[in-house]
Structure 1
Amino acid sequence: MSAAERVYREVKESILLNEITGGELLSEGEIATRYSVSRTPVREAFLRLESEGWMKLYPKRGALVQPIADDEVAEVIEARILLEGHAVRAIAGDPAAIEALVAALRGNLDDHRGIDPTDVAGFAKVDAQFHQLIAAAGRNRLLTGFYTSLGERHRRMTTTSVHRRTGTSQRILDDHHELIEAIAAAEPEHFIAALDRHLLAVHGVATGTGTRSGEPR
């Protein structure tokens, strides 16, 4: 693995885990020292992260880590409700598919309950897997692929919410239990309503908001 690739992966993971927070201004020199590399691979990594929308570069000033804007959260939530709701509707008339999904989700929930709440990275990873199981159950590879592309934003949103609000971890576990029961009962509309409440409560943003982050001062 090249130095640029290593820096890219490690800085990105730190952003996803909220170890580097939105609004933080990073310098090439600071990151080069942190990872014991020259500035060239750091610059390459920053350019790649900028192209993916994780940061914005300001010449001679540094790289601003893009905060999670309220409208981005609302858009991700809307997409997730549409995709997961579609998947549950698609299997509502298939008892075998429902049984298989419910078994997988209950196994995931057991794993989730076994994670130390202070392990935010592990908690967010299993949370993402829970929702990916639901999306994949719809057996539409195109939609599943699109849902998977939301995974990194999903992880970042979850780690941010768990860090920000006391009780979020337990809320997620309780809500996941309700979602499983709605699927087991083959009630997609109940599932969609519960998912909507779950995502809005966990991430604390009402759909339709449009706040955008500013530039560094």
Structure 2
Amino acid sequence: MSDTSGISAAEVVYRHVKDSVLTGELEGGRMVSEGEVSTTLGVSRTPVREAFLRLEVEGWLRLFPKRGALVVPVAPHEIDEVLDARALLETHAATDVVTRPDDLAALVEALDAVIARQHASLEAGDLPGYTEADAEFHRLVADAGRNSLLAGFYRTLRERQQRMTADSVRGRSAAAATVLDEHRELRDLLAAGDVAAFGRALVTHLDHTHRRGGTR
């Protein structure tokens, strides 16, 4: 969990449960109780209840009185909508950045670092670290475009993207390794300035990872 100094108990619970949902530790369809979280974090049930209500409003949990909270599964229509938006935004950003050699070189260098971090997380069996690096890879591409409005919109997809990746590769090391290989291919196509091939490879990558990768 991130630094919790100076924040309320409800905020601590909120961050803990939300992080657990996003990284796949709490899978879609699982029931979690106030008592379970209260015991884990050493807090009373009141801040847990407050955090659960906040997470229900955001759509991560569905509350059932006296039973606990259901982790809301990722819906198929949400997968389609998120992937379509990501493909459009990342390809648009790639089209822009390849016209700026210095910025493209900096992007490729940053992608190399993220790929190395993602590989290390995979080797260590660190699913949260792996999914965070996956989201960072794609965010770097999206941010490389010079449209701040589109980049801001893309960041709103980050949490959904991270959770979808965790759902897709959990317990499937071969699929996780394939994602890394496809990231390397996307990096190479950007470095070569081949936007058309990058766009095709990106759509294939997203489809392999999330549509055929196990989120349905």
TM-score by length of 1: 0.88
Q: Which residue of 2 aligns with 1:197?
A: 204
SS in 1 for 2:27: coil
Select the residue among 50, 57, 66 that pairs with 2:56: 50
Does 1:16 find its partner at 2:27? no
TM-score (norm 2): 0.89
State how many pairs are aligned. 207
Deviations 1:94-128 (A, max 9, x none): 22222221222123223333332511111111111
What is the deviation of 1:164? 4.3
- Superposed, which structure 2 residues align to 1:140-155 within 5 Å? 140-155=147-162
Unmatched segments (≥5 aa) in structure 1: 212-217
Task: State the alpha-carbon separation in 1 of the partners of residues 212 and 83 from structure 2.
Answer: 9
Instruction: Say if 2:192 is the partner of 1:185.
Output: yes
**Counterpart of 1:25 in structure 2: which amino acid?**
M
Report the Cα distance in structure 2 between the residues aligned to 1:96 and 1:33, rounded to whole angstroms: 52
Change (3 A) 1:63 1:82: same
User: Secondary structure at the residue paired with 1:23?
Assistant: coil
Cα separation, 2, equivalents of 1:5 and 1:44? 9
Question: 1:111 and 1:29, CA in 2 relative to 1: closer, same or farther beyond 3 A?
Answer: closer
Which residue type is aligned with residue 179 of structure 2? I
Match of 1:101 in 2: 107
**Do 1:158 and 1:203's aligned partners in 2 also have CA atoms closer than 8 Å?**
yes
**Bigger RCO of structures 1 and 2 (CA < 8 A, at least 6 apart):** 1
Please show how residues 1-217 of structure 1 align to structure 2 within 5 Å: 1-115=7-121, 116-205=123-212
Q: Which digits, 9 at most, give the CA deviation of each residue in 1:154-203, with x for residues without a partner?
A: 11111121214331221111101110121122121211110111111111
Identity %: 49
2: CA distance, partners of 1:16 / 1:91: 30
CA RMSD of aligned residues (A): 1.8
1:29: how far off?
Answer: 2.5
* In structure 2, C-alpha distance between the alignment counterparts of 1:75 and 1:128, rounded to whole Å: 17
CA contact (8 A) 1:28 1:62 kept: yes
Instruction: Say if 1:90 and 1:138, in contact at 8 Å, map to a contact too.
Output: yes
**1: distance between equivalents of 2:164 and 2:108?**
25
1:46 CA displacement: 0.5
Change (3 A) 1:73 1:14: same
In the aligned structure 2, how far is the partner of 1:89 from the partner of 1:45? 42
Secondary structure of 1:63's counterpart equals strand
**Matched residue SS, 1:114:** helix
Question: Take 1:183 and 1:12, find their aligned partners in 2: how far apart are those partners?
Answer: 33
Residue in 2 that maps onto 1:214 = none
